Structure 1
Amino acid sequence: MRTALDLAREVGYAKLSIEGIAARAGVGKHTVYRRWPSKGALFLDAMLSALQTELAYTDTGDIVDDLRKQMNAARELVGGPDFGPLYAALVGEAQHDPAIAEALYERWVEPITERTRIRLRAAQEQGQLSTEYDLDVIVALLYGPLYYRFLLIPGNYDAAFIDAVLQAAFAGLKP
């Protein structure tokens, strides 16, 4: 998996191949195919292994500050120069491979989304957030703009943008 990431950083995901990974790792391609059915499956496992983090929330009593900290941690992790291009390639691969899309959702997106729902629910219970809105709508409202910027407007994904998203969202989400 480390070889797959190293090679992807060098040649880009589009030029990554099982044959190239196997050669670099010093194994036969059949050895790789025994464990992973495709380049996308290997790349997904390699990325998730490298991104192994919970992107946890703290509950300081201030939902906006807690979201800001978590969203900036996510931005630094998947939007940085080390993993940004690779994560964007993985999201792109998920658009063409339903198995990759499902695995990415189940193993990365949904666990983070569930932690976000838990923190938002606590904020609702604390009176910091309106109970009028479905939590999944709030998650989409907050994180949709980040994915939009990350995937479609390279180089324009910074802490100031996250602050602007939070300010705009919470102007309408307060109880």
Structure 2
Amino acid sequence: MPAANSQPRRARSGNRRDEAARLAVLHAADDLLVERGFGNLTVEAIARRAGVAKQTIYRWWPSKVEILLDTLIEDTEKRLPMLTERTTAESIRGYLLGFARFLTGDPAGKILLALIAEAQHDPGTAESLHKRYLGPRRDQERDMLVRAIDAGEVSPRLDPDATIDALVGPIVYRALTGSSIPSGLVDTLVADLLLPR
């Protein structure tokens, strides 16, 4: 037998290629959404931009919505981390300012806005968005707020869910309408909703 056969076989690098292809698809979807908008985004265009076969995409994702959700979830974890340390009114203010920047200046924020808009017309999108992103994120935001309440750092008059709605709602609304989100708005929301006189 040749000496080459006595050496251990080299491990396949398929997983690395698969991960590279997966990331290429996520980045392509992100870029194309910003360039073309949700309505003009197709799986075919994503496949072309990512350099993968359309069948590869459909093997991993059933629709462009699911691709965008994966992109949104990964990018949110990296670019808008949830507060895990001691939570104060000031740290919540910082989180809300980061959320405003995320919605207005980050491609992943554009994905969130596009999915919120699409969810108004498509029940399947609404269900996936809530199940995979909005629900889990809301749980984390509620936990952040409850920790601040329990520590005596904030004392909102509204229950935690209504407080989150009142804090986040105006930010999302302004972003959806293309308006700027001044830091004064966030300051006022925090002062009025978390530190009532």
Calculate the TM-score normalised by the size of structure 1.
0.80
Of residues 139, 144, 150 in structure 2, which corresponds to 1:125?
Answer: 150
Partner of 2:11: none
Partner of 1:159: 183
- Tell me which amino acid in the other structure corresponds to 1:56: M
Q: Which runs of 4+ in 1 moved over 4 A?
A: 58-61
The superposition leaves residues 34-81 of structure 1 with CA deviations (integer Å, 9 ceiling, x where unpaired) of 2222222222222222333363225556x3212101111222223215
C-alpha contact (below 8 Å) 1:5/1:46 kept by paired residues: yes
C-alpha contact (below 8 Å) 1:22/1:32 kept by paired residues: yes
Instruction: Indicate yes or no: 2:52 matched with 1:27.
Output: yes
C-alpha contact (below 8 Å) 2:42/2:64 kept by paired residues: yes
Structure-2 separation of matches of 1:88 and 1:162 = 19
CA separation of 1:104 and 1:119: change in aligned 2, threshold 3 A: same
Instruction: Indicate yes or no: 2:62 matched with 1:41.
Output: no
Instruction: Indicate yes or no: 2:119 matched with 1:94.
Output: yes
Greater Cα radius of gyration, structure 1 or 2: 2
Question: What's the offset of the Cα at 1:106?
Answer: 2.9
Instruction: Indicate yes or no: 2:81 matched with 1:55.
Output: yes
Structure-2 separation of matches of 1:26 and 1:58 = 38
Instruction: Structure 1: give runs of 5+ residues left out of the alignment.
Output: none
The SS at the match of 1:15 is coil
- Tell me which amino acid in the other structure corresponds to 2:82: A
Question: What's the offset of the Cα at 1:131?
Answer: 7.2
For the aligned residue pairs, the C-alpha RMSD in angstroms reads 2.5
Instruction: Structure 2: give runs of 5+ residues left out of the alignment.
Output: 1-25
C-alpha contact (below 8 Å) 1:59/1:119 kept by paired residues: no
Structure-2 separation of matches of 1:65 and 1:58 = 14
C-alpha contact (below 8 Å) 1:55/1:74 kept by paired residues: no
Q: How many residues align?
A: 171
In percent, how many aligned pairs have the same letter? 32
